[in-house]
Structure 1
Amino acid sequence: MSFFRNQFANVVEWQEFREDMIFYKWHNNEIKKGSKLIIRPGQDAIFYNNGRIEGVFKDEGTYDVESQIIPFLSTLKGFKFGFNSGMRVEVLFVNTKEFTVKWGTRNAINIPAPGLPGGMPIRANGTFQFKVNDYISLIDKIAGVRARYLVDDVKLRITSILDPLLMKWITREGKDMFNLQANSFDISKGIKEDLDMQLIESGLTITGFHVMSFNYPKEIQDMISKAASHGMVGDVDKYQRISMIDGMSSGKMTSGGAASDVAGMMMGMNMANQMMNQMNQPNPNQAQPNQAPPTPAPPSNSNSLSIPNFCPNCGTKTNGANFCGNCGHKLN
């Protein structure tokens, strides 16, 4: 309590409201007789004395402190304003909305990866959401020593511990380093739980955490894109021929001087050789050029069918001759 003279009633309200302000501490030392409390949408007003919460008021509107607020204060409900006395109590206004913050890694994170001794440098970005959920812890840890608290203060605290959490959840359970986006949901969920444990003691809670994208170094990204292209084409030789044809048709291979001309000529010869090899491969539906034609079967002797086995004149065996060897008789 304190005593004063010639002091007028005051208005207890959030005088410096900002969308990015988490809480605001009313800065006057005393609430005088006839004072009014103004609570706007999205605000809670907390009366506390010596670190102890006396009352929390959440409904928007304008209230008479003496008749509508003091009767609900836990230890000050019997307070009576005197002619020269005021009530010494602190009022904290809290922004009750959910805040959404964009984040990004300040430095590349070297993630262990097979074949890369120094690790793979990865950057990431996304958003997280938070809100105030425990007024006692908020006053005890933050509001007790600060007059206001901004979203940037929370963002700074989050980003200071985000890199090791990303390292932890990216490398967990052997995730594919070249396809982290497919595991972004599990990574985000794990980081959200860890961040919530870090902030809960300050009266804040993480309501959401999302990884929007992972960014690889340009060399790694080019390698991933090329591997994806090969996978879509399927035939690497076909992919190379298509690439060369596209390069020549677009004129990109004709503007590099002698070296470019030689490279273009060599690639053209390579394509020609491949085409000749394909043309020279045997076709199973065509006859081989060195294959001898099939030998025709000897014509059958129709006369041999009319020669008798024995001469009809003398009875001597004919042996297939046209004339009998004994009597000279013609047999056919």
Structure 2
Amino acid sequence: MVFFRGQFANVVEWEEFRDDMIFWKWSNREIKKGSKLIIRPGQDAIFLNNGKIEGVFHDDGEYNVESQITPFLSTLKGFKFGFNSGMRVEVLFVNTKEFVVKWGTKNAINIPTPELPGGMPIRANGTFQFKVNDYIALIDKIAGVKNSYLVEDVKIRITAILDQLLMKWISQEGKNMFNLQANSFEIANGIRDDLDMQIIDSGMTITGFTIMSFNYPKEIQEMITKNASHGMIGDLGRYQQVSMTDGIASGKVKGGGAASDMAGMMMGMNMANEMMKNMKQNQEESTSKQETQAVTTNQKKPNFCPNCGEKTSGANFCSNCGQKLV
């Protein structure tokens, strides 16, 4: 009899578990007398009867359905397992972890900007995080008609509206189109709030949204890099010298040819000019300093000795008493 009875018992568990699966439904089967419920870490088990929640079990472990589960079900707590009859319910297993998803724009987003009449094509990439937070909404909107739900399903839904949200938040007033990374935190926060409003009615919430980088067209990126180089170096003359030096060092201007000779001559002339400028400047500064000192010295000499009153005639010492005059 024990052997026969064991044929009716079953194990209620997440049989098709995947890390990228949000929920999985154990359905269309009857829970027999002596059945076991297995809940693994990171899972919740929801007992459903006619689409309504009977009970939610959070703690992982192995449970006897008859003695440890049924007494806690809302409307089925008085259910008695018969020899040939079982309990017809559905069990929805939910993955409780926070999912991290990578995203990236498939096509460039054309952002309107006064600097470029045709708009600026921009690509972006990053990550977003989400998790299930409302089981009633999840069952009502999704689990009621699906037996499983994957992260890819959420990603498709998010990326379908992401381009529009990027355009919305990038186009906000005051954004520097040529340095969007500086505003990435503000843009990401705005997108996160909008995305959360899109999926909250499905029982999920966006817990984070980040923008790792903005990518410009090659020509725009080269212009941004060149402008940054000009700003770092300070003046066009030094920028040309550095560019020439980089060209020789990188092999783009190779030695032994006319180009290298010309580059060497230009660098030599520039260096000679700089040296002459520095020497002339130093000489002018030295002459000016000497003249200033001479004027200052002459102004300090008295016409008459302060000690004896003898006329000094521009001397450093008094000819009568020897008093120092400077």
Q: Which stretches in structure 2 are left out of the alignment for 5+ residues?
A: 288-326
Q: Is the 8 A contact 2:166 2:191 kept in 1?
A: yes
Q: Is the 8 A contact 1:101 1:127 kept in 2?
A: yes
Q: What is the match of residue 19 of structure 1?
A: 19
**Aligned partners of 2:272 and 2:113: how far apart in 1?**
41
Q: What is the match of residue 218 of structure 1?
A: 218
Residue deviations 1:42-98 (CA, integer Å, cap 9, x gap): 110000112110100111111111111111111111211122211111100001111
Q: Is the 8 A contact 2:27 2:89 kept in 1?
A: no
**Aligned partners of 2:270 and 2:140: how far apart in 1?**
81
Q: Is the 8 A contact 1:70 1:76 kept in 2?
A: yes
Q: Secondary structure, in 3 states, of the residue corresponding to 2:59?
A: coil
1:268: Cα distance to partner? 4.6
Q: Secondary structure, in 3 states, of the residue corresponding to 1:81?
A: coil
Backbone CA RMSD of aligned residues: 2.8
Q: Secondary structure, in 3 states, of the residue corresponding to 1:173?
A: coil
Larger radius of gyration: 1
Residue deviations 1:13-67 (CA, integer Å, cap 9, x gap): 1111111111010134211111111111111000011211010011111111111
Gap change, CA 1:264 and 1:204, over 3 Å in 2:
farther
What pairs with 1:183-332 in structure 2 (closer than 5 Å)?
Answer: 183-248=183-248, 251-254=251-254, 261=258, 265=262, 268=265, 272=269, 284=284
Gap change, CA 1:264 and 1:59, over 3 Å in 2:
same
**Aligned partners of 1:207 and 1:113: how far apart in 2?**
31
**Aligned partners of 1:73 and 1:118: how far apart in 2?**
63
User: Structure 1 counterpart of 2:92, which letter?
Assistant: L
**Aligned partners of 2:270 and 2:34: how far apart in 1?**
100
Q: What is the match of residue 127 of structure 1?
A: 127
What pairs with 1:65-214 in structure 2 (closer than 5 Å)?
Answer: 65-214=65-214
Q: Is the 8 A contact 2:244 2:263 kept in 1?
A: no
Q: Is the 8 A contact 2:253 2:259 kept in 1?
A: no
Q: What is the match of residue 44 of structure 1?
A: 44
Q: Secondary structure, in 3 states, of the residue corresponding to 2:88?
A: coil
Moved more, 262-271 or 246-255: 262-271
TM-score for the superposition, normalised by structure 2: 0.78
Paired positions, count = 280
Q: Is the 8 A contact 1:244 1:267 kept in 2?
A: no
Greater helix proportion: 2
**Aligned partners of 1:193 and 1:273: how far apart in 2?**
57
Residue deviations 1:272-298 (CA, integer Å, cap 9, x gap): 4896699598974699xxxxxxxxxxx
Q: Secondary structure, in 3 states, of the residue corresponding to 1:69?
A: helix
**Aligned partners of 2:192 and 2:144: how far apart in 1?**
27
User: Structure 2 counterpart of 1:118, which letter?
Assistant: G
Residue deviations 1:199-258 (CA, integer Å, cap 9, x gap): 10000011111111111111111111111111010011111122224434655234898x
Q: Which stretches in structure 1 are left out of the alignment for 5+ residues?
A: 288-332
TM-score for the superposition, normalised by structure 1: 0.76
1:263: Cα distance to partner? 9.9
Tell me whether 1:33 sits opposite 2:65 in the alignment: no
Gap change, CA 1:249 and 1:125, over 3 Å in 2:
closer
After TM superposition, what 4+ stretches of structure 1 lie above 6 angstroms from structure 2? 280-283
1:174: Cα distance to partner? 2.4
User: Structure 1 counterpart of 2:235, which letter?
Assistant: D
